[in-house]
Chains A and B, each alone.
Chain A
Amino acid sequence: MISRRKRRELGSTAAIERQYADLVPAPPERDVPRFGHGSRVPGWDDAVDIEKDPAEVPDPASTPVPAPLRAEIEAHMAKYPDFHSATIPALAAAQRHHGWCSPEAIWQTACVMRLTPGYLISLATFYDMFENRPVGRHSIYVCTNISCSLCGADELYHRLCTETAGDPNFNVRHFECLGACDIAPMASVDGVYVGPIGLDEVPELVAQIRDGQPPLPDKQLRLRQSTDPGAARAVAGAADPLSPTTGHGAPMGGEVTGPPAAIEHPPLEEEDDDE
């Protein structure tokens, strides 16, 4: 039994993690880059001067914005009844252009949208997909949520981290559920869902990303066929596949087609009405 005092002394999670570093597997050491002013968030030293007013809407005359970025942001603003709605697409465009939500990216977006930089920073720090520090060009999001971690996603994440360690072109992150638990453990490589990734495939995957090739081409999600046995059957059975093909009592039983890749579609011409 540990005394109340001891527990209080150990109360913080960081302290526990430090004491039990050998029991609790620690994530691989990664340097936290800091800016000149010591903060992890760029531009925050601008406002610490209490004499200074918060940044205002940037002056177009002194804020040059690249023409393609301006055009993209203005196109987004035109889509919505209220231009504020375009802030997330606009920030995403700026991030694509600059590589991260850098002060220039924020200021340029603010200039085009006529908003304060502070408003945009509040968004860029809220949403996970906005990067608030310089990152590698290739983003690898590894889903480490519950379904994927049951299938070994934590090992995959650690392996990817060690495999790409020291390479500034990579941005490996563990992410909230990416909505692809059927291919667990999986990763989103620059927006392309890949999985299930075996630990032995990690070097191959990293090499492919380095060379600019499509990641694990035969394991991409878009190629995956539905696992539902009814999905294949409906194509085979009906000229009007919109109609339900298995009635209330249709035998479906334990007979389930094997792996999804095994499902073969008959040629479309052979669709005849045998319902």
Chain B
Amino acid sequence: MSHTMLFAGIDEPGLNTLDVYRRRGGYESLRTALTQMTPDEVLDEIIASNIRGRGGAGFPSGKKISFVPKAQVDKYLVCNADESEPGTFKDRELMQKNPHLLIEGIVIGAYASGASRSFIYIRGEYAEQADVIQAALDEAQAAGFLGEDILGSGFGLSLVLHRGAGAYICGEETGLLDSLEGKRGNPRLKPPFPAVQGLYQGPTVMNNVETLMAMPHIIRMGGEQYAKIGTESSTGTKVVSVSGNVRRPGNYEIELGIPSRELIYDLAGGPPEGREVKLWFPGGSSAPVLTGDDLDVPYDFDSLSKAGSMLGSGAIIVVDDSVPVVDVALKLAKFYEHESCGKCTPCREGTRWTVKMLERVDAGLATPMDLDIMASVQEQIIGNCLCVLGDAMAMPIGSMVLKFRDEFEAHIEAARARNPWAGEEPPDPDPVLVQGSVDA
């Protein structure tokens, strides 16, 4: 069942301007929070709402803010708008159409955490969206919703829009921080977590766009009321991006806990005529795949993790039965190979190995034993790196090999039958290539 909160009236013309936004009651939650509540009261509401981060990890946002030390140091709030998880496009639509809600959420979040400076890190490819946000920022600044002494409360906040330059790894929170500090976006060792030591070595609260956009609604409704939406451990609404082989791809705001089938079939229209769902990623391309048998799993954090996958960034990619699973795996592996930052060996080498092995599967040069090797490579990656980029490849690929092993083996056989010189001596290999120095 769809449940509209963030998407309420989102197509209203001019919603990205301050006038329309305020006419619809915008910035009233901010006024309530700043003039009638203390930061601790705001934080209590966020904790009571039990909202979990919408970026991928699903960590309770209130708890995250409460980790920030109370000491008098420069604290920062960073909005993670580097939405690069394949299949995810919810933040793009939200930011483009309702930028002021994001700004309002950032100010409320900063007030609760005591941050005095905030940043929006938006991915470089979102040029149009960055322009929309910058215009909204200027408007909010001129109207006194940002800057010194907001609404006469004595609380001040600066907000800078920072555009990235195209790197998936910068969506990882510590990679983002390094990038925001002007370095290559390499993840950092954790702990210390950003809430303790993050941007410029100061305590930093990092939240996804959608999480911050829920803040004004939490203040308006009250945390307890918000917690009544959804399930007990997955509260609130979630904007889910449905894409791939469906008839109506797009963003759908739902109450967490509805059956996944309803989301894929009723809202997104299901796969094209005559096709069936073969596999689907419930939470972006990093989530282990589920099959058509799992369509009745409720769409919330706990049910999906019980089913062996995760909600992640809330992006469903549907693959129908006309697509070979090897193609999907190879596409994924190539993406992660390209985006691996190269800092940790298991990820840097593991992604490359996986691509090579999948190419051999596709070319008919593999044997079923290679599938076992590939699965073991995935096991070696998971948990052995600073960040989860390697895991993000290993989990879906591992689950595909596990669940579609028959198809992988059939693919190997079929490709080998097509092999033009099966059983013959191969032509003399290029001596340079044999040394393996070319494709490094």
Contact = CB atoms under 8 A, between A and B. Distances in A.
Interface of A: 1-2, 6-17, 19-20, 23-24, 79-82, 84-89, 91-92, 122-123, 126-130, 141, 144-147, 149-151, 175-182, 184, 188, 191-193, 221-222, 225-235, 238, 240-246, 248-250, 252-254, 256, 259-260, 263, 265, 268
Contact of A226 (B10, B229, B317, B430): B10
Contacts, number: 284
B305 to A, nearest CB: 22
B187 to A, nearest CB: 13
A9 B350 CA distance: 21
A151 to B, nearest CB: 8
Given A15-B429, A146-B317, A147-B317, 7 more contacts: A20-B363, A81-B200, A179-B83, A227-B248, A242-B26, A246-B3, A256-B269
Nearest to A130: B165
B1 A252 contact: yes
B331 interface: yes
B172 interface: no
Contact of B7 (A7, A79, A234): A234
A229 to B, nearest CB: 6
Given A81-B117, A127-B164, A228 B436 contact: no
Contact of A231 (B7, B123, B124): B7
B436 A88 contact: no
Nearest to B123: A179
Given A1-B367, A256-B269, A150 B245 contact: yes
A187 to B, nearest CB: 11
A182 B84 contact: no
Interface of B: 1-5, 7-13, 24-26, 74, 83-89, 91-93, 96-97, 117, 123-128, 160, 162-168, 179-185, 200, 216-217, 220, 229, 241, 243-245, 248-253, 255, 266-267, 269, 285, 315, 317, 319, 323, 328, 331-332, 335, 338-339, 341, 355-356, 359-360, 362-363, 365, 367, 415, 418, 422, 425-427, 429-430, 433-434, 436, 438-439
Contacts of B83: 179
A244 B220 CA distance: 11
Contacts of B128: 191-193, 221-222
In the A-B complex, the 5 residue pairs with the closest CB atoms: A227-B250, A230-B4, A191-B127, A181-B243, A128-B166
A228 B252 contact: yes
B103 to A, nearest CB: 15
Contact of A85 (B181, B365, B427, B429): B181
